A and B are shown apart, each in its own frame.
Chain A
Amino acid sequence: AAGVIQSPRHLIKEKRETATLKCYPIPRHDTVYWYQQGPGQDPQFLISFYEKMQSDKGSIPDRFSAQQFSDYHSELNMSSLELGDSALYFCASSSGAEDTEAFFGQGTRLTVV
């Protein structure tokens, strides 16, 4: 079965640079979530989208922005990167219409040096 696809899998950036993370949800899923997981921590919710509109917002820094496109894929844009942004970034998708829970992608490991 198709899963959530995230790209890239690994990313190394320098401080103050920008990064763009991409997420392709499971086909027919209309909802996308972004989470940040630091080393040894639980996942922290950043933001979610339902049918291309922002659905819920968590502890997303103002330096980050995200959107969901017409084909339901989503991108997380991160600017003015800081060392503390180094983490595993998960995307998850679900279907409100089909009442399915959130399935997670394999994550993008971002390292800021």
Chain B
Amino acid sequence: AQTVTQSQPEMSVQEAETVTLSCTYDTSESNYYLFWYKQPPSRQMILVIRQEAYKQQNATENRFSVNFQKAAKSFSLKISDSQLGDTAMYFCAFMTPPWGRALVFGKGTRLSVIA
């Protein structure tokens, strides 16, 4: 069974600084997807970024980027120029294709951005 581990229950960062959230996973599959979802206080689940395992290039979405280390089974999220609106719970998630299979979530990291 696939597992996702987020070892940092809580983190804080000063506004405009950079922060990195860690995620490791365990799987015997070679083809899979990895995601970071953000859940602000409204509790809406918002997709931040997506990475396909077969792609060596790390995904980037504006201020959000990942460091995907397939051999180490590591998938960290870097947030640059942190903003107050980035305050949220961040979940790392894993899925094997095809679409329709379950997303497996980590326990989450609560990020607070401080002014």
Contact = CB atoms under 8 A, between A and B. Distances in A.
Contacts of B100: 31, 33, 48-50, 55-56, 94, 96
Interface string B73-115: 0000000000000000001000000111111111110000000
Contacts of A24: none
A99 interface: yes
A72 interface: no
B45 interface: yes
Contacts of B108: 42
Interface in A33-78: 33, 35, 37, 41-43, 45, 48-50, 55-56, 58
B105 A107 contact: no
B44 interface: yes
Contacts of A106: 42-44
B79 to A, nearest CB: 19
Contacts of B104: 45
Number of contact residues on B: which range applies?
A: 20 to 34
Contacts of A41: 107
Given A101-B33, A104-B45, A50 B102 contact: no
Interface of B: 33, 35, 37, 42-47, 50, 91, 98-108
Given A45-B104, A56-B102, A104-B46, 11 more contacts: A33-B102, A42-B108, A43-B45, A55-B100, A92-B45, A94-B99, A95-B99, A101-B35, A104-B44, A106-B42, A106-B44
